[in-house]
């Protein structure tokens, strides 16, 4: 990617416009209501996903949650190639009895990079090797990015994007429609980490696969809720969870139990002491009930050029770190904090790039989780007890 341009838009103008959008949309007030699913009427959402073991659990949870009005499911290449994420999404829609939800095929490759998959974790078919019949329904003809644009414009300020995979589809929609970000109610993301990665020491998988797309999203001005590895690492699926799912006799619980049982066995074969983490399910649960997690405001950006760190999510905060300030001093620090990039090289005449001239949070980051409360919601919904 040209260091000064983001797909036809200069980085300076993009950052300036996203800063303006954050200010004019009232980021703090919009984030204060980021648990929209608690309202009287169902919350409109689009689920962007790359199923995926934990995506499968997340989709089943979402489809069994009456708080959600799922306007579309938009598979993207990620954990496995698109032909598998698409067919897996269609299978899960059929299993849940929710064929009313349109499924639209998304991007086959990241914006600028070759696709890296996670078949090592999810198996060759994406579902931990669990085999289900071929889906009988078909995806809609409309591409994922276009259905995202259409639905958001049809319901301005009502639609939340729940993203469970690489952010290629979302970035494609934003690139095609410069005003779209201002019409999105919010974005709840499984992705990123402020405490190290899971595919490299720096990067979480979803951001690693398409860091350029992730940077577009983080800089878009959409209020973001980030559920990353900092909390999802505390959500290991266990044999006890599987037994509860097996005891329930509905199709969703039986499918989840089969996928989960295979995934646990796969983890044990690879020498892991615990089952797979329910990364994506936690993001859906966070939207359904934000009190499951503890939150902190950050300005988050994404490294796109590092040879070893591409895909790293960096969280800037005047209140983070070991040295604590009194409340008044924290407010003053936020007002004067500059968001800087890397130091200039000896060969360059540039000064350190200033990404922001002051601290403006763009993301609510999950920093702790009540795992017991989370699994009560997840297993209870899938088993039909909530």
What pairs with residue 162 in β-bridges? 47, 188
Single out the catalytic residue among 122, 241, 266, 279: 279
Contact by Cβ (8 Å): 311, 213: no
Whether residue 279 lies in the annotated active site: yes
Report the distance separating Cα 210 and Cα 212, nearest Å. Answer: 6
CA 61, CA 47: separation in Å to the nearest integer?
12
Residue 100 contacts by C-beta under 8 Å, 6 or more apart in sequence?
none
Asked whether 351 and 343 are in contact (CB, 8 A), the reply is no
Q: Across the chain, where does the E strand assignment appear?
A: 5-6, 9-10, 43-49, 68-75, 159-163, 186-190, 224-227, 293-302, 313-316, 339-340, 354-356, 363-369
Listed residue (182, 181, 155, 183) closest to 167, CA to CA: 181
In this structure, are strands 313-316 and 43-49 parallel, antiparallel, or unpaired?
A: unpaired
Instruction: Give strand pairing partners of 298.
Output: 363
Strands 339-340 and 293-302: unpaired
For residue 233, the 8-state DSSP code is T
Q: Peptide bond before 180: cis, by omega within 30 degrees of 0?
A: no
Paired tokens of 309: 């760190």
Buried b (16+ CB within 10 A) or exposed e, 13-36: ebbebbbebbeebebeebbeebbb
∠ at Cα 307 (306, 309), nearest 5°?
55
Q: How many residues does the chain have?
A: 386
Query: Please, what is the angle between helix 251-269 and helix 53-63, to 10°?
Result: 160
- What's the token pair of residue 25? 């949309």
| CA pair distance 212, 54, nearest whole angstrom | 24
- Which residues are annotated as catalytic? 279
């Amino acid at each position: 990617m040209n260091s000064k341009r983001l797909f036809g838009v200069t980085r300076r103008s993009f950052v300036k416009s996203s800063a303006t959008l954050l200010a004019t949309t009232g980021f703090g007030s919009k984030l204060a209501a980021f648990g929209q699913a608690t309202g009287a009427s169902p919350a409109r959402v689009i689920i962007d996903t790359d199923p995926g073991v934990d995506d499968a659990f997340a989709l089943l949870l979402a489809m069994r949650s009456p708080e959600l009005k799922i306007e579309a499911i938009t598979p993207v290449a990620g954990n496995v190639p698109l032909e598998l994420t698409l067919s897996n999404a269609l299978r899960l829609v059929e299993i849940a009895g929710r064929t009313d939800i349109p499924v639209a095929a998304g991007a086959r490759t990241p914006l600028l990079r070759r696709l890296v998959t996670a078949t090592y974790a999810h198996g060759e078919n994406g579902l931990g090797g669990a085999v289900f019949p071929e889906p009988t329904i078909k995806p809609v003809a409309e591409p994922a990015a276009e259905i995202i644009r259409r639905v958001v414009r049809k319901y301005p300020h009502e639609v939340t994007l729940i993203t469970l995979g690489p952010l290629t589809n979302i970035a494609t929609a934003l690139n095609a429609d410069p005003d779209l970000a201002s019409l999105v109610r919010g974005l709840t993301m499984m992705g990123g980490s402020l405490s190290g990665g899971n595919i490299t020491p720096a990067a979480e998988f979803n951001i690693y696969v398409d860091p350029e797309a992730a940077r577009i999203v983080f800089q878009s001005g959409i209020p973001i809720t980030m559920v990353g590895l900092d909390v999802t690492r505390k959500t290991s699926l266990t044999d006890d969870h599987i037994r509860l799912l097996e005891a329930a006799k509905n199709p969703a619980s039986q499918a989840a139990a089969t996928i989960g049982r295979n995934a646990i066995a796969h983890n044990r074969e690879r020498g892991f002491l615990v089952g797979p983490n329910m990364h994506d399910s936690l993001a859906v649960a966070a939207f359904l009930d934000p009190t499951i997690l503890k939150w902190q405001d950050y300005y988050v950006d994404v490294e796109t050029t590092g040879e070893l760190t591409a895909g790293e999510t960096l969280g800037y905060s005047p209140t983070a770190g070991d040295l604590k300030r009194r409340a008044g001093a924290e407010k003053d620090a936020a007002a004067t904090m500059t968001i800087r990039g890397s130091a200039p090289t000896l060969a360059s005449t540039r000064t350190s790039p200033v990404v922001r001239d002051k601290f403006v949070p763009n993301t609510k980051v999950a920093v702790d989780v009540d795992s017991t409360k989370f699994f009560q919601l997840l297993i209870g919904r899938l088993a039909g007890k909530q």
